[in-house]
Structure 1
Amino acid sequence: MFTGLQHIPLVGGGLDYYANYLSDPQGLFLELCEQIPWQQPLVKVYGREHLTPRLVYFVGDPGLRYQYSGVSHATSPWPASLKIVRDQLRVDTGFEFNCALLNYYRDGNDSMGYHSDDEVELGESPCIASISLGAERDFCLKPKVGQSKVQKLCLADGSLLLMLPPTQQHWQHALPVRKGVRGGRINLTFRKLLK
């Protein structure tokens, strides 16, 4: 079992953070930068269409489809390196994952707004495993209901963040713009879609 757990309790959920989960994050970052046919789809947010402020790609088991913000993604085959990571996650965490949404933040101008991974096809209380590659970025959380100070966690290169059930029911998360960040970051978010 891997070590270095930082558990972050939340009212209605919790996070497990491992700062040094991958042994060669730089190698995987470079491989994915070069080999993934990254896309920048149009998404609909609050009734308006705009380009996603990052690049994305969706991989997983055959026949799966994932829809969010008005965009439907059919799965592309698992790259061999990500199959290995997925299988290791199952061993280390006990959670099963059949797909992964990949996000490529080219620099600090690319971002992700506040949202929850609570789509119907993920089930009532999913676990999301998030692996960070490349530049460190701030991961922010706020509750869906009530006033609370935003919680912030700096995600390191090669780290694993587990968003444990039932966090998605009660919390939203975001990756805000950070103008001073010049390097790229790839985020691998492993999920289990219900068939």
Structure 2
Amino acid sequence: MNSLFADKQPITIINTFGEVDYIPDFFNNSDSDAFLKALIEDIEWVQEPIWMFGKKIMQPRLTALYGDPYIPYRYSGIEMTAHNWIKPLLRIKDEIEAFCGSEFSHVLLNYYRNGQDSMGWHRDNEKSLGENPLIASVSFGIDREFQFRKYEDKQSKKAVNLTHGSLLLMKGKTQQFWEHQLPKSKKIKNPRINLTFRKILG
């Protein structure tokens, strides 16, 4: 870890069959507020259809992909073409890369407008991400509970409350052995934006 981030000590969420670390205050409140506003206003959000149980439905959230425009990203029957980086994303990317000591080619953004927007159980295990990808997940906006469970043991669960300005790192064999989701919540009325930085191999 870069010595400049000595005050940002990770909290270990998972340390068996993968590694997940959480830094709740990676970005301060002032910067996080500014990033949230800029991303809501400046990102080219879309709502994509996906296939679930043989039916085509609209995803319960808005999405966008930024990064190398010549490398598409495919998941769940969707092929996304990346927009060019914009300044707020590059600022966030620079901070994350300095902390992780790794470079990322793309960021997949999800805009959860309220508690009725969600993400179902899945793994980020596309071949284009490589065998053991590093996924750096940044959250801005209202706190949301993020859940993990063992892929082959659905009863083995863990949860973490992702706060405004937080960073979650999924490393090693996490995507092989664990799946994750962001469940719905009737209590939540405010928005949250999540950015997952990744390296797409093409």
Task: State if a TM-score over 0.5 links the two structures.
Answer: yes
How far apart in 1 are the matches of 2:59 and 2:81? 17
Structure 2 residue 19 is the aligned partner of structure 1 residue 14: yes
How far apart in 2 are the matches of 1:152 and 1:9? 10
> Are the aligned partners of 2:139 and 2:162 in contact in 1 as well (CA < 8 Å)?
yes
Residue by residue, what CA displacement relative to the aligned partner does 1:14-67 show, whole Å, maximum 9, x if unpaired?
111111111311110001111112100111123221000000000002301001
Matches within 5 A, 1:160-175: 160-175=167-182
Aligned length: 195
> Are the aligned partners of 1:136 and 1:156 in contact in 2 as well (CA < 8 Å)?
yes
Give 2:73's match in structure 1, choosing from 62, 66, 74.
66
Structure 2 residue 122 is the aligned partner of structure 1 residue 115: yes
Quote the residue 2:107 is aligned against.
Answer: 100
What is the CA distance between 1:85 and its match in structure 2? 1.4
> Are the aligned partners of 1:66 and 1:73 in contact in 2 as well (CA < 8 Å)?
yes
Please, which moves more after superposition, 70-79 or 10-19?
A: 10-19
Quote the residue 2:165 is aligned against.
Answer: 158
Question: Identity percentage over the alignment?
Answer: 39
> Are the aligned partners of 2:139 and 2:195 in contact in 1 as well (CA < 8 Å)?
yes
How far apart in 2 are the matches of 1:75 and 1:35? 15
Please give the TM-score of this superposition, normalised by the length of structure 2.
0.93
Please give the TM-score of this superposition, normalised by the length of structure 1.
0.96
How far apart in 1 are the matches of 2:130 and 2:52? 22
Give 1:176's match in structure 2, choosing from 169, 176, 183.
183
Amino acid at match of 2:109: L
Please, which moves more after superposition, 115-124 or 79-88?
A: 79-88
What is the CA distance between 1:77 and its match in structure 2? 0.6
Quote the residue 1:5 is aligned against.
Answer: 10
Residue by residue, what CA displacement relative to the aligned partner does 1:68-126 show, whole Å, maximum 9, x if unpaired?
11110011011111112112211111122100000000000000000000011111110
How far apart in 1 are the matches of 2:26 and 2:126? 27
> Are the aligned partners of 2:133 and 2:172 in contact in 1 as well (CA < 8 Å)?
yes
Quote the residue 2:146 is aligned against.
Answer: 139
Quote the residue 1:26 is aligned against.
Answer: 33
Runs of 4 or more above 4 Å deviation: none
Amino acid at match of 1:114: W
- SS for the counterpart of 1:11 is coil
What is the CA distance between 1:149 and its match in structure 2? 3.3
> Are the aligned partners of 1:4 and 1:19 in contact in 2 as well (CA < 8 Å)?
no
Please, which moves more after superposition, 36-45 or 155-164?
A: 36-45
How far apart in 1 are the matches of 2:27 and 2:56? 36
What is the CA distance between 1:147 and its match in structure 2? 4.6
Structure 2 residue 45 is the aligned partner of structure 1 residue 45: no
- SS for the counterpart of 1:27 is helix
Unaligned runs of 5+ in 2: none
